[in-house]
Amino acid sequence: MTKSKATKQFKKEPSTQKKINTQPNSKPTVRKSIATVEIDLRKPETHRIQIKIKHDKKRWPGLIQFPVWSPGSYMVREYSQHVSHMKGASKINKNTWRPYREANQISFEVYGFDRIVQTNYIDNKIAILVGSALLPLLHGPFEIILQLPKSWSVLGSALNFKATGSNSYKAKVRDDDHWIDCPIVTAKKNHGGTKKFLVGKIPHTFTWVGSEPSVPIDKIIADTKKICQRTIKMFGSAPFKQYNYLIDFAPGFYGGLEHRNSQLSQFDPDVLGDSTNYEAFMGLLAHEYFHAWNVKAIRPERLGPFNYLEENYTEDLWFAEGITSYFDEMIPLDCGISTQESVNKARLKDVNILKDGNPGHLRRSVAESSFDAWICLYHRNEDWLNRDVSYYVKGAQIAWCWDARLQKLTKKKWSLEKLMKEIYREYGITAEEPLATAAPGFTRKDLLLFCEKTTGQRHNFVEEWVNSTKPLPWREAAKFFNLHWEEKVHDIFHHQFGFGLNEEKGKLRATIVFNGTTAEKAGLAPKDEVIAVDDIRVTNKAQAEAAVKRSQTKVRWLVARAGRVFELTLKSKKHAGLGVEQIPANTKSAL
C-alpha cells in the first residue's frame, strides 16, 4: 500500500456527485426474476438448511460462486466451508462449482450453528439467516420461497415476506446486494416477538428472538425510538422507506452488523438491568442505525458495489466506523438515555485504549489500519498493540478532535454534526438504489475538499491525522469541551517494565511485551511463565506487584519458557504513556 501524504491545501475541483433523492415515494426498477430459490428450514434440529435453486434459463449461465465475506465485517470467512451435498455441479475451487452440462438446477445444504451476526444460526427454536453465508451469487433478481417448520413464522426481514400457504413464505429480491443486505429472523411460536412504531411517517419494526430481556421490551423500544428520531433529525431525512431492528438476545453475546435498512444485533439480555450495560446496548443499536447513513448511504468509493469473492480495500474505515462510534455515544446522550459522566468516561476510555505510548499507535496510521483490517484487526495476537491501531478507536478520537477544531475555528458556527448532514446531502444514496447504478462513493480527497468548500475552513488537519503516526491532539479537544481529567498509574508492570502480566490456570504469564521497553531489551517474551520476583515465589498478580514494590531499581525475574528456567534482570523505569489511565476529574463538561 502506498501511503498518501497530506498537502498544504486541497486543490479545488467541482464535485461530480448527485444530490440524494429523499422522496419517500420513489420506486426502484423491477426486473423479471432469473431464478427461484427454495430455502427449507423444516429440520431445525439438524442445524442444516436445504437449498434448491432453479434458473429460468435452460442451462445455468456461468459458474456457481459463494461469497467469502460480509460487508461491514472486514474478514474473509470462507462461507463455502459450510456447504455440502452439492448436486448438479462439480467443485473446482474453495468457493466455486461448475454446473453440469445442460443443468439449470442445483441443490445443496448449509450448516448453520455459529451464533454470530455474520453467519447462519438455526436450532429447534429460532433461525437467523445471513445472505452472504447462505446462497451463491445469482447476478440478477430472484424469488425466495421459504419453508418453515410447523408453528414457526417469519418475524423480521427487510425483504417483506408474504405468507403463501401453510408455513410457506415468498419474497422478491432485486439483486445480490439486496439479498446480502437483508438478513432474516424466524422463530417458533413464543420464542420471539415483533412490535412496530413510526418515526415521522417512516415505519420501523423491532423484532427480537432468544431469551427474555431483564428490562421491559416496551422501555427498550421507547428508547430506540428516541434514538431514531434524534438521528433522522440530525441528517434531515432518512435514506430508507422502512427500517428493521433484528435483535438476538443471547446470554454472553455482543455484536452488530449494519445493513441498508436493517440491522442484526446481539446482546446479553440478563445484564440489561445494570445501567452501564443498558447504555452499552443502546449505544450498539445507535451505532448500527447510524450506519444506515454513514457507510451505507455515505460510503468510501471501494465499499459498494462490492466484490464478494475477495477483500475490498479502503483507507477510510476510520470514517465509516470511527465517526459512527463517536455519534453512537453523543446521540443517546442527547436523548437522555446515557449521562454526561458516561460519555466523558467513553471519551477518555478511547484515550486509554489508544495510549500515547502504544508502539502500534506510533508505527501505523489509521489509514493503514483501515487498509489492513483484513489481516490485522480481525486477526489479533499478543503483538497486535506493537504493530497496529484500531480504526474504531482512533477514528472516534479523530471525530472528537475534528468536532472541537471545527467548532473552535468557526466560533461554533459549524460542528461535525452539522457537517455530516451536508456530507449526507452531497454523497448519500437511498436504500432503494441498486449499488450497481448508484452514484459512486467518495474519495477522501473529494470529501475533504467538499468540507473545505462547505465550512470555509481548510481541512488539512484531518488528512494529517489520518496519515500520521503521532498522538492525536485529544487534550485540545478535552480542553475545548471542558473535560478535565486526572492521570494515574493503573498497571505497574506496563508502566515500570513495559509488559503485561496475566493469571492463567494458576500460573503467571507475560502477555504483550511492548516494543522498545525494558522488558523487551532484557529478553522477556510473550507467554513466558513468571515463577519468582527477586527470589520471592509468585503465583498471582498481587504477589508479583507487592514483590516489585519491595524491589530496587533492578528487578530479577525467574521465568520459564519451552521447558527451560532462567533469570532475567529488568530495570525499573517509567515508560511514558504506558500503564497509565485518564479518569474524569470532578468537573462539569460542555460536551
pLDDT digits (tens, 9 = 90+) for 10-32: 333 333 444 454 443 344 455 78
pLDDT of residue 166: 85
Answer yes or no: do 279 and 380 share one domain: no
* 46: amino acid identity, one letter: T
Band (pLDDT 50/70/90 cuts) for residue 323 is very high
The CATH number linked to 275 is: 1.10.390.10
pLDDT of residue 491: 94
pLDDT of residue 165: 85
Task: Judge whether 521 lies within some domain.
Answer: yes
H-helix or E-strand containing 464? helix 460-467
Task: Judge whether 179 lies within some domain.
Answer: yes
Task: Judge whether 113 lies within some domain.
Answer: yes
User: Do β-strands 262-267 and 243-249 pair in parallel, antiparallel, or remain unpaired?
Assistant: parallel
* 193: amino acid identity, one letter: G
Average pLDDT, the chain: 92
Q: Which three cell numbers stand for residue 248?
A: 438476538
pLDDT of residue 585: 87
Band (pLDDT 50/70/90 cuts) for residue 61 is confident
Whether the pLDDT of residue 52 is over 50: the answer is: yes
Whether the pLDDT of residue 560 is over 50: the answer is: yes
Answer yes or no: do 62 and 208 share one domain: no
Task: Judge whether 50 lies within some domain.
Answer: yes
Answer yes or no: do 175 and 240 share one domain: no
Answer yes or no: do 430 and 444 share one domain: yes
Task: Judge whether 454 lies within some domain.
Answer: yes
Give Cβ neighbours of residue 202 (< 8 Å, ≥ 6 apart): 24, 232, 238, 240, 241, 242, 243
309 contacts 68 by C-beta, under 8 angstroms = yes
What's 318's DSSP letter? I
Answer yes or no: do 117 and 230 share one domain: no
Answer yes or no: do 470 and 334 share one domain: yes
Among residues 259, 292, 325, the one where a domain terminates is: 292
pLDDT of residue 587: 47
Task: Judge whether 589 lies within some domain.
Answer: no
Whether the pLDDT of residue 539 is over 50: the answer is: yes
Q: Strand, coil or helix: what is 295?
A: coil
Which has more pLDDT, 459 or 351?
Answer: 459
Among residues 463, 483, 503, the one where a domain terminates is: 483
185-195 b/e (C-beta count within 10 Å ≥ 16 → b): bbbbeebbebe
Whether the pLDDT of residue 9 is over 50: the answer is: no
Residue bearing cell 428493521: 244
Q: Which of 233, 500, 503, 250 is nearest to 383 (CA)?
A: 500
Give Cβ neighbours of residue 55 (< 8 Å, ≥ 6 apart): 34, 35, 61, 104, 105
Answer yes or no: do 45 and 164 share one domain: yes
Answer yes or no: do 90 and 175 share one domain: yes
Answer yes or no: do 108 and 184 share one domain: yes
Q: Which three cell numbers stand for residue 203?
A: 415505519
Answer yes or no: do 181 and 201 share one domain: no
Ramachandran category for residue 47: left, alpha or beta (phi over 0 → left; psi -120 to 50 → alpha):
left
Q: Which three cell numbers stand for residue 351?
A: 484515550
pLDDT of residue 586: 65
Q: Give the pLDDT mean for 552-556.
A: 90
The string of pLDDT tens digits covering residues 89-111 is: 999 999 999 999 888 899 999 99
- Number of folded domains that form the chain: 4
H-helix or E-strand containing 228? helix 217-235
Q: Strand, coil or helix: what is 420?
A: helix
Task: Judge whether 583 lies within some domain.
Answer: no
Helices 340-353 and 324-334, packing angle to 10 deg: 160
Look up the domain containing 537 and give its range: 492-571
Answer yes or no: do 181 and 228 share one domain: no
pTM assigned to the model? 0.92
Q: Strand, coil or helix: what is 245?
A: strand
522 contacts 537 by C-beta, under 8 angstroms = no
Among residues 161, 190, 219, the one where a domain terminates is: 190
Task: Judge whether 310 lies within some domain.
Answer: no
Q: Which of 47, 24, 23 is nearest to 110 (CA)?
A: 47
The CATH number linked to 508 is: 2.30.42.10
The string of pLDDT tens digits covering residues 490-513 is: 999 999 999 999 998 889 999 999
Answer yes or no: do 266 and 401 share one domain: no
